[in-house]
Structure 1
């Protein structure tokens, strides 16, 4: 049996332009995500299709379309060297959407273009799950639905009616979407597993330390994580968020040790009050969880290294939440022979001037505490400068920094201090993480940005175990006490500190800068979105169900069914036919006021009596008002029953009724 030919697509100019606009609107966010060549290719396809709407001869034939397909695939491969992964896969979807526009010749092709555009909109969530993108996607979906409405209705519906119907359909779907989001069982992890994608790594701390590895983050506003405290905030000097710990150096670069299991961790002795908080961690493609120094209580699915760093089972590729308790006062256990060897490792023999400096401290006192204090005093009293733009040192970076340039960022001071301690025979290591954080008085949380990235040191003292020492605090104490003024730092490309420090933690929300207010409010909204929506994982869903008394599938199905029925009832009430009230007739309203005035003087219009008959009777009984009664009645009849009423007659009727006296 011969298949019927596809229905010929006779394009309506307005509808086709709406389709092209909708498709381009859907693809626009990928301007920030994909390579410029891919975006330019799609834009050229869309522009070509727009031009061919006015000159159909411009549409490509089969051979040219085949060549365009090959060129699009080649662009994807040249940009990403593969056809899978986040960027490459999204690029293939976008290229396919552009090519489908070029071969759109019948109704089926139009449907395919719209459905492919839905998939392109979905790929944008691989790059961002922000509130702005969610709102933008809803608008894109409404546009595509309006295209489908117009495609089926034809020219009968105006664009305004199409948009209104599409918006109504999206609004009706949203309550059902919310119910399914809350109650439909969630699976652990994403819906699909993306292959490793090197270009998808987020900005953040590195697994090596070398000059510039921390300072490169100093101009980044990107959030690293946010912390909600159940009680009081820690003091600024206690806000050290522990990250990777470095032992080994080749003289220029510091590297991480191999990861070891949690069973090798020596439990510290904790004392004093604890801080309990929930950390919302941004994706950073590493296993590290940054906890306040030093964590004691943490979720069971986290492991702890011998250096007290918390680790997730897999790389953090999506936003996650962890509730942790940390103690700022602690004493670690004894030092093992392997740790002592690692803590004293030096890549080569120290320089003569470095040995002389350390020997001078030793002659002053052989106590490790005194040597540490002498080293801090050296950094404080000598002309060291804390800067984002230190001179580049090619050879012997520690020696040149200590005795010649004396300009550096936190990683310079931390690595140089550890080097000096090891020369003095004191086990030491470099700790990286974040220090500080900006208090948000609107959302009541602490936001730690990438610009708060920091490096400090730990030395092992026999009475205390591993003890935090921050040489940056000796050179630039404002860095620890006041925190970073990121606005000035970005403007000047130099380290700047906040003049108000962290007093905002205890102050009311009384900022005079509207820009700062707006930024804090938006950060609070974004944090709530992250906590309530993006972090709604299986564990949070289970806790929510338990709060509602849902303990088994029967309870879940009952809740889900009841809420879906409720949504259906509400939508039905919204869509029920409504009797539109008749619009008020201004002529009748004015005439009724005239009748009331007449009734007050004993002249009442009888049932069935027409306006003209009533006017004749009223004029005979009130001859003194005959002219006014006749003028009002004539105007009223002309407005109500005339073929073409003059809009000025309404104003004249109102004036005559107002002025009428009997």
Structure 2
């Protein structure tokens, strides 16, 4: 492979491309990769300036081993999208140390293209697309600059020319890219490798420890967006159901019982005047799990979604990308069952043996005084109301193994998970089947786009108890301690610790709503542009035609677009074949012909000068100087090209000469004034 030395401009563009590509992944990368990239660039700068030598192969090998070790220590053995992208970025960050050959610079450029594409695994907003296009232009500029650095006349090319050439290539590719996007059908992959993303852990998990939901309450990450077809339910009815937890190990609640799932659920119908059906559409953020979110008793209206016996919506596939689905809910409907199976009953009464003795004794004493379940529940409510319990996002850690006892009788500070977990424990202690339900409570309106957002700080836990003949009854003990959380939202309940947007500035709120609305419309359109929507667009452009006719039309348009693209490329290539001297010589020939000098296609510089001199003897010096300037640059020493200043000076000289130029008398084409044909000369 031929060893080359890239000029300073090409190295500068390579550095800019590397930094911009790294910036796109910066918030997902470990700090040590960023430090490695900075060190790699500084070392390469030292090599370019002659201050340090290129690293020995042993040093490169050691750096590679350190990179693998860093990835392993950062992410562990479990594969994730972040770990694999970080591994690729780590190699990318060290690649500048090897940019010594032409192939090395191209590898770095192509890695830029690959990592730019991988950015869409994590972000797909409209601003992300705009930023990606800007970075692509920079990388294209880098590629062109590297190509030109191999040419002998690369120093004569200005930066502006390189920029415009890159921008021109990019703009010419946009129509073809748009055509392919709008026309090509959305075909599913032949196979799918479901590798989770660690970003998915920002959200609910299938377990609940006392402080876990409190940590989510400090996150303003988006969980999903929802648009209602009918009236928006009241705040007290905005319980978005996701998970049911049945197993308690003394500290953490988790899901062990797996109820059956109906993959062909019946549609909901009103059974009485009190039933209230609500239809809505959800645009869900990826969370790498199969559970979905719904209100009350729900029925999906999207294929691939089932309803479990514990009234949850379940997707057949894990949600690794944004998902849109539709559902109908009955907010007044009860989760009725004829009865609990022996297996389900065991799960919903399960408790660790011998733990939390004070809580067990307290529940037994209270149940003895109030044997009816309704009276017992009311007695518990009065206890929570009459005791100084605090609802807080910073409850502190429970230090003993008897976490329920410590919370109920010592700390009395907790978030929703503390209250829900303790109530289920008390219910089970006296033989009442109970379970923890995880989800979200509340929505935030965006009046610009008429949709509502649910954020991670809306995460909530509540309780359901089993009543024979009535089914599962929802109880939210958080409302006993902090009713404002249920009626007005989290911001009113924990004003100082609220993680969401809480500015009182009208224009800031308006800007935020406009930006969020743009994101919503973009994601909604991108997800919906397939199938029927694509067919409708095709019909608008091509009319109502058969599938065969549409395919032929699409192919014709595709080949036409490719053909037009090749024409533009051919014109660019033809234009690029002419050097500055050749373009100036062409200008000189046109001027002579415009003033009546009859030239043949192969007329040499000497012939042109003689023909012009025959009728303009007073311009002998100017014609001689112009001929010598062209011959010296084009023929005597082809490696010595004119500079831009010399080219401009010669063009100015030609223009000044033609101001004093006389038109010739008619004479045979290609003949000198003496009637003799000049010998052809270079």
Alignment of 1:246-265 (within 5 A): 246-263=245-262
Partners of 1:435 and 1:517 lie apart in 2 by: 24
Q: What's the CA shift for 1:362? A: 5.5
* CA deviations over 1:392-413 (Å, ceiling 9, x no partner): 3323222332233322111111
- Structure-1 residue corresponding to 2:326: 323
Alignment of 1:85-124 (within 5 A): 85-124=80-119
Is the deviation greater in 170-179 or in 346-355? 346-355
Partners of 2:372 and 2:545 lie apart in 1 by: 62
Partners of 1:58 and 1:497 lie apart in 2 by: 52
Structure-2-length-normalised TM-score: 0.73
Corresponding residue SS for 1:288: coil
Out of 29, 33, 37, the position equivalent to 1:34 is: 29
Kept in 1, the 8 Å contact 2:257–2:347? The answer is no
Q: What's the CA shift for 1:336? A: 2.0
Change in CA separation of 1:567 and 1:312 when aligned onto 2, cut-off 3 Å: same
- Structure-2 residue corresponding to 1:211: 210
- Structure-1 residue corresponding to 2:496: 492
Residue 283 of structure 2 is aligned to residue 280 of structure 1: yes
Kept in 2, the 8 Å contact 1:473–1:480? The answer is yes
Q: What's the CA shift for 1:440? A: 1.0
Kept in 1, the 8 Å contact 2:37–2:93? The answer is yes
Change in CA separation of 1:155 and 1:304 when aligned onto 2, cut-off 3 Å: same
Alignment of 1:62-211 (within 5 A): 62-80=57-75, 85-153=80-148, 154-188=154-188, 193=193, 195=195, 199=198, 201-211=200-210
Provide the aligned C-alpha RMSD in A. 3.8
- Structure-1 residue corresponding to 2:420: 414
Kept in 2, the 8 Å contact 1:187–1:538? The answer is no
Kept in 1, the 8 Å contact 2:299–2:307? The answer is no
- Structure-2 residue corresponding to 1:440: 446
* CA deviations over 1:117-162 (Å, ceiling 9, x no partner): 2122223333333333322221111011112233344234322232
* CA deviations over 1:53-106 (Å, ceiling 9, x no partner): 222763335555455444444444454456975334323433433444333234
Partners of 2:92 and 2:134 lie apart in 1 by: 19
Residue 50 of structure 2 is aligned to residue 47 of structure 1: no
Partners of 1:319 and 1:449 lie apart in 2 by: 15
Q: What's the CA shift for 1:363? A: 3.7
Is the deviation greater in 559-568 or in 441-450? 559-568
Out of 387, 395, 402, the position equivalent to 1:390 is: 395
Is the deviation greater in 154-163 or in 265-274? 265-274
Kept in 2, the 8 Å contact 1:202–1:283? The answer is no
Partners of 1:352 and 1:174 lie apart in 2 by: 70
Q: What's the CA shift for 1:566? A: 7.1
Partners of 1:406 and 1:336 lie apart in 2 by: 33
* CA deviations over 1:240-270 (Å, ceiling 9, x no partner): 1001112222343222124233259998985
* CA deviations over 1:178-213 (Å, ceiling 9, x no partner): 33223323233698626456x454311121222112
Q: What's the CA shift for 1:175? A: 3.0
Kept in 1, the 8 Å contact 2:240–2:441? The answer is yes
Kept in 2, the 8 Å contact 1:229–1:278? The answer is yes
Out of 371, 375, 378, the position equivalent to 2:380 is: 375
Residue 65 of structure 2 is aligned to residue 60 of structure 1: no
Corresponding residue SS for 1:459: strand
Unaligned runs of 5+ in 2: 149-153, 573-654, 658-682
Kept in 1, the 8 Å contact 2:176–2:561? The answer is no
Unaligned runs of 5+ in 1: 500-510, 578-640, 644-662
Structure-1-length-normalised TM-score: 0.75
- State the number of aligned residues: 560
Change in CA separation of 1:32 and 1:357 when aligned onto 2, cut-off 3 Å: closer
Change in CA separation of 1:422 and 1:94 when aligned onto 2, cut-off 3 Å: closer
- Structure-2 residue corresponding to 1:652: none
- Structure-1 residue corresponding to 2:433: 427
Change in CA separation of 1:475 and 1:144 when aligned onto 2, cut-off 3 Å: same
Q: What's the CA shift for 1:571? A: 12
* CA deviations over 1:287-331 (Å, ceiling 9, x no partner): 110111221233231122211111122322111111111110113
Kept in 2, the 8 Å contact 1:231–1:275? The answer is yes
Change in CA separation of 1:265 and 1:36 when aligned onto 2, cut-off 3 Å: same
Out of 499, 513, 522, the position equivalent to 2:515 is: 522
Partners of 2:95 and 2:408 lie apart in 1 by: 63
